[in-house]
Structure formats: structure tokens, C-alpha cells
């Protein structure tokens, strides 16, 4: 941690030299409100609003012809968004498609890649992953007539918040068919070493997939170079597509040209789709892993949102994100040493995603007090406060203010007025 005192002027100086500060005005933010929950739901940008309204206008103007004649032709929108997303994850355009939800896409790719055979029947996951991923894994194991209790390996955490790559690798052997892990752990914000894990798994003949929900849009990836087999993600967090925004998936080009595990009309090669044949001719791209008709109005905002990422550059976004979280950690160390807080996220830049994981026994009540002070945090049971200073719309002075607001809450025990329990949605 830094030894020099951080002041408001420190923060203002950083803001004056911040090349990404111009993007804050692109988003709908509220005066005197500090939105620190962009790792759950990103804010609406004016560009995302514009491209959504364009698709609405295409519907209004063209009706059915909006599929091919609109300003944003719907028939090719999923591929267009895939091409725009590819640079953020180090993929080639034909390896990426915008489609489905994160869990639906995971089921699709598990149906395509999880092929238990002989003694190679097990899946490696972890005990800290988001529950939805574990539900999907157990469902797929069940569908093969196997018992999740015997065929799902959940790598244990030594501290309850982070994972050891070496412990993950130690579980790999000739009985494992597939591995699925989060790139960034949703509670602690730990960034796993994707390249190291992938190489070790491939050395054992294991198919490798990653859930990028908490990393895409926050940091660069090199999925093609790292030889990752598949990945899934949502787009409503760092990519700012809106609530329930359509997700995405990646399949390494070495696997393309095969029939998907779960076929549907939009799995078709586009030139053949309207031949209406009952024998599928799958697309030779990641588009083969689509199923139903694209959700246009939940995809269109990404056309505008991704423009911002291309202008700002994912490398610059990552650099600012690290600087913001580093400053927040230093401020917590400086201003809050006496109030029982503990940082559970990795301190090293190369092991940290885009948010801070702050532990406190009264985390739920503290989050309620923060909201009353116009700070929007995220609570995760039982004791986690997540704070995400998003590079595109959070300033260094915002981080300074949030820390002082939190200090004021603790000094004056404002959180004691609230029950220390989560609401219906945490």
C-alpha cells in the first residue's frame, strides 16, 4: 500500500490527466450519485440509446423488411455484434456470436463439448462460481445419466474467496472431460491465469471453457492465442447493453464447421436458412451455436455501446480500472483501518479484475446506509460489499468521495439504523 497520503487534490490531478474522462458524459449518470454497481448492471449510454431507437424506428418504418433493409439490418446484427466484440476477447470475428443468455449459451456449449466417454466423464469447476453455472453443469451431467456428486469436481478455496491455479491443475487427470471456470470470481474479483490453466488442461486432453461475465469489457483477453476452446458471457455488466441484454459466446476456430449440440433455425448457414430444409446445414462460424430468432431490441444497444469500447480501447480501460481500484484500496487502508474492514480481492494488479471486495460483518446494513448516501454498492451474502469503479463513467474524485462517505457512515454509526440482512434482490 502507498505511504504518501491521498488527498482530494491527488484525485483531481489524476482526473485532469485521464484520457477516458471524456466518456463520462456519454452515460446517463445522476448528479451527486456514485454508481459503483456496474459489475452487476452497467449504465445506459447515449449511443446505446440511439442504436436501440434506430432498431425501433426500423421496425416502425420497414416492418418485416427491417430484417434486410433497415438502417441496422436485423438478419446480420448478431454477426455484426460478434465482430465488434471479438477484439475485446482476443478472438477472430468468425469465432464470436451475439446470442442467447449466459446460461442458455452455457447449456448449448456443454451439449456440444461435454461428451463423456469411457472413464473420461468428469467436469472440473469450483466452489466459488456463480450458482447458475453450477446448475447448468449438474443438469448436463444428469442428462448423460451420471451423478453430479460423482462426476462434478468443485475445486475448494483455501480462504473462501480465492482459488489457487495449482490446486485446479492438481485435479486434472485422464478422468476429466471438461473444465469450466470463471475468468474473474464474482465475489472476490480474483482474475485467474487463463493461459496457464488452459495449457495444463490441454496437456491432459481436457476441453476448456471460461465464463467471462466479470471480465469482458473490463480487461483484455487473448482467447484464440491461449487456445481456449469456448467461452460465454453476459453483456449487461461492463458492456452496458441493458437489463437482460443478449449474451455472447466464443468457439475456437479449430472447432468450427461442426453441428452444434443444440440445433435451431438460426444455427443454419445464412444462405441456406430460408430453403426451409429439414436437414440442418450449420453455419461454418460461431453462428452455428445460435438457436432461436435473435432478440433484436435487446441486442441493438450493443451496437452503440461497443462503439465506445473501440474508441477508448480495452487496454486503456484496463489501465484506468486498475488505477481506480488501486487508489480505492489505498484509501481504504488510509481512511478505514479502525472499522473492521478487510479486503478480500487480490492486491496484485495481474490477479485483480474490475471490482473491490470489501468484507465486514455488517455488510448488509452498511450497503443500505451507502444507498441512503447516494452511493450504489452491491451486497453479496453473507459479508461482502462489492464496489466497482467503472473506467468509462467513474472518476478518481468519485472514488475519493465514496471512501469518505463510507468513513462518515462508520464514524457516525449510520448503518446501525438498518437491519443487517439482504433485501429480496441483493
Per the annotation, binding residues are: 102-103, 130-133, 211, 214, 236, 265, 293
Q: Is the peptide bond before 382 cis (omega within 30 degrees of 0)?
A: yes
Cα-based torsion angle of the residue sequence 68, 70, 74, 76 in order, rounded to the nearest 10 degrees:
60
Binding site feature residues for pyridoxal 5'-phosphate = 102-103, 130-133, 211, 214, 236, 265, 293
Residue closest to 108 by CA, chosen among 255, 221, 227, 276: 255
Q: What are phi and psi of 416, to 5 degrees?
A: -65, -15
**CA 162, CA 156: separation in Å to the nearest integer?**
9
What would the DSSP string read from start to end of 269-326? -TTTGGG--SS--B-SSGGGG--S---HHHHHHHHHHHHHHHHH-HHHHHHHHHHHHH
**CA 138, CA 149: separation in Å to the nearest integer?**
9
**CA 381, CA 395: separation in Å to the nearest integer?**
28
**CA 252, CA 194: separation in Å to the nearest integer?**
15
Say if CB 327 and CB 319 are below 8 A apart: no
Q: In this structure, how many other beta carbons lie within 10 angstroms of the beta carbon of residue 338?
A: 9
What is the DSSP pairing of strand 356-359 with strand 378-380? unpaired
Amino acid at each position: 500500500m502507498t505511504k504518501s497520503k491521498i488527498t482530494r487534490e491527488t484525485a483531481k490531478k489524476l482526473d485532469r490527466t485521464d484520457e477516458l474522462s471524456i466518456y463520462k458524459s456519454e452515460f446517463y449518470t445522476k448528479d451527486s450519485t456514485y454508481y459503483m454497481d456496474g459489475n452487476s448492471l452497467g449504465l445506459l449510454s447515449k449511443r446505446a440509446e440511439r442504436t436501440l431507437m434506430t432498431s425501433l424506428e426500423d421496425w416502425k418504418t420497414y416492418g418485416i423488411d427491417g430484417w434486410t433493409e433497415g438502417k441496422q439490418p436485423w438478419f446480420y446484427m448478431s454477426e455484426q455484434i460478434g465482430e465488434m466484440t471479438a477484439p475485446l476477447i482476443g478472438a477472430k470475428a468468425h469465432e464470436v456470436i451475439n446470442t442467447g443468455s449466459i446460461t442458455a449459451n452455457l447449456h448449448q456449449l456443454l451439449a456440444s463439448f461435454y461428451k463423456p466417454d469411457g472413464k473420461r466423464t468428469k467436469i472440473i469447476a469450483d466452489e466459488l462460481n456463480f450458482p447458475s453455472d453450477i446448475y447448468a453443469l449438474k443438469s448436463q451431467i444428469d442428462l448423460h445419466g451420471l451423478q453430479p456428486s460423482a462426476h462434478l469436481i468443485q475445486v475448494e478455496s483455501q480462504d473462501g474467496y480465492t482459488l489457487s491455479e495449482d490446486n485446479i491443475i492438481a485435479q486434472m487427470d485422464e478422468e476429466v472431460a471438461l473444465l469450466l471456470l470463471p475468468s474473474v470470481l464474482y465475489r472476490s474479483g480474483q482474475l485467474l491465469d487463463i493461459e496457464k490453466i488452459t495449457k495444463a488442461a490441454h496437456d491432459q486432453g481436457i476441453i476448456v471453457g471460461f465464463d467471462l461475465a466479470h471480465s469482458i469489457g473490463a480487461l483484455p483477453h487473448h482467447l484464440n492465442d491461449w487456445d481456449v476452446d469456448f467461452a460465454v458471457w453476459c453483456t449487461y455488466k461492463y458492456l452496458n447493453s441493458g437489463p437482460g441484454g443478449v449474451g455472447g459466446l466464443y468457439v475456437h476456430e479449430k472447432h468450427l464447421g461442426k453441428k452444434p449440440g443444440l440445433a435451431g433455425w438460426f444455427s443454419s448457414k445464412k444462405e441456406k436458412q430460408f430453403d426451409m430444409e429439414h436437414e440442418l446445414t450449420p453455419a461454418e462460424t460461431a453462428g452455428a451455436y445460435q438457436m432461436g430468432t435473435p432478440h433484436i431490441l435487446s441486442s441493438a444497444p450493443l451496437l452503440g455501446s461497443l462503439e465506445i469500447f473501440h474508441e477508448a480501447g480495452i487496454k486503456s480501460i484496463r489501465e484506468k480500472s486498475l488505477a481506480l481500484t488501486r487508489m480505492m484500496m489505498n484509501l481504504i487502508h488510509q481512511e478505514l483501518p479502525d472499522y473492521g474492514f478487510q479486503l478480500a480481492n487480490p492486491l496484485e494488479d495481474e490477479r485483480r479484475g474490475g471490482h473491490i471486495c470489501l468484507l465486514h460483518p455488517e455488510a448488509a446494513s452498511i450497503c443500505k446506509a451507502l444507498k441512503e448516501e447516494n452511493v450504489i454498492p452491491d451486497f453479496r451474502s453473507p459479508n461482502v460489499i462489492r464496489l466497482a469503479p467503472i473506467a468509462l463513467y467513474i472518476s478518481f474524485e468519485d472514488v475519493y468521495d465514496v471512501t469518505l462517505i463510507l468513513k462518515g457512515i462508520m464514524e457516525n454509526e449510520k448503518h446501525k439504523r438498518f437491519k443487517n440482512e439482504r433485501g429480496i434482490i441483493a
